[in-house]
């Protein structure tokens, strides 16, 4: 596992190193719904994550790579939804402000931005919740094994 950071200026520097990748784990901070980027105060942070996901998932070096989307900080997101509308980030959003509806909408935005030929798996999580992450990462390991078995049977 390699953390490639989220800064825009670093994205193009690392992507060509990955040619034999089974899956990309892409973490998104749900609290970014009403935050802006330090390097671009006109850009919403969650929209930037969506744009980065779009760029990475369409990259030629990751043509045969599946994606595992982690919608992180769900605990803080639940609190944020009490005072912040999802429409701050997604003006077209007209749904309910309950957490499940908002999570599903955000997940769908990412799913709609990936190439149609790629699988996307997703999880809502709180990365500082150790028991949750231990169980979740165990599931991810199993998933990666399954992906490798599936891909090796197509050779």
Does 127 count as an annotated binding residue? Answer: yes
Does 72 count as an annotated binding residue? Answer: yes
Longest dimension (CA), the chain: 51
Does 74 count as an annotated binding residue? Answer: yes
Does 32 count as an annotated binding residue? Answer: no
Does 138 count as an annotated binding residue? Answer: no
- Cβ contacts of 149 within 8 Å, gap of 6 or more: none
Does 66 count as an annotated binding residue? Answer: no
Does 5 count as an annotated binding residue? Answer: yes
Does 118 count as an annotated binding residue? Answer: no
Does 6 count as an annotated binding residue? Answer: yes
Tell me how far apart the terminal alpha carbons of the chain are, to the nearest angstrom: 25
Cα 131 → chain centroid:
21
Pairwise CA distance, residues 126 & 74, whole Å: 6
Does 4 count as an annotated binding residue? Answer: yes
Residues at the annotated binding site? 3-7, 72-75, 127
Binding-site residues for GTP, in ranges, read 3-7, 72-75, 127
């Amino acid at each position: 596992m390699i953390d490639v950071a989220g800064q825009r200026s670093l994205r193009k520097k690392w992507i060509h190193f990955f040619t034999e990748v089974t899956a990309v784990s892409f973490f998104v901070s749900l609290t970014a719904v009403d935050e802006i980027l330090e390097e671009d105060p006109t850009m919403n942070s969650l929209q930037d994550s969506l744009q980065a996901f779009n760029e990475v998932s369409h990259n030629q070096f990751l043509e045969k790579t599946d994606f595992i989307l982690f919608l992180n900080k769900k605990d803080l997101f639940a609190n944020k939804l009490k005072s912040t509308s999802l429409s701050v980030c997604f003006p077209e959003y007209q749904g309910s402000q309950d957490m499940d509806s908002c999570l599903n909408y955000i997940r769908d935005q990412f799913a709609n931005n990936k190439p149609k030929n790629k699988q996307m798996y997703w999880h809502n999580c709180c990365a500082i919740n150790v028991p949750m992450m231990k169980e979740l990462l165990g599931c991810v390991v199993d998933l990666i094994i399954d992906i490798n078995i599936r891909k090796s049977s197509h050779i």
